Structure 1
């Protein structure tokens, strides 16, 4: 079965990479803070 759009997969992967980079740039600090908060909360939860 031939692929009618051979550039579809590389383009989709490139778009996904760009989207991930943009999201990381925009939400990196927030995600880091959220991760630290969840880790701290998990430690408090496990200590009880």
Structure 2
């Protein structure tokens, strides 16, 4: 019997991930829909131009 693979640790981004719930349940779907994501910070024009 094999052992389940563990996920590598995720970097701490300072934002909280949505709770783990199956999307097939009403409660899980509600948590997924109500979770507010934080948009990524945009680079200033000078840093973008340097890319």
TM over 0.5: no
* Structure of higher RCO (CA pairs closer than 8 Å, 6+ residues apart): 2
TM-score between both structures, scaled by the size of structure 1 = 0.34
Name whichever structure is richer in helix by fraction.
Answer: 1
TM-score between both structures, scaled by the size of structure 2 = 0.33
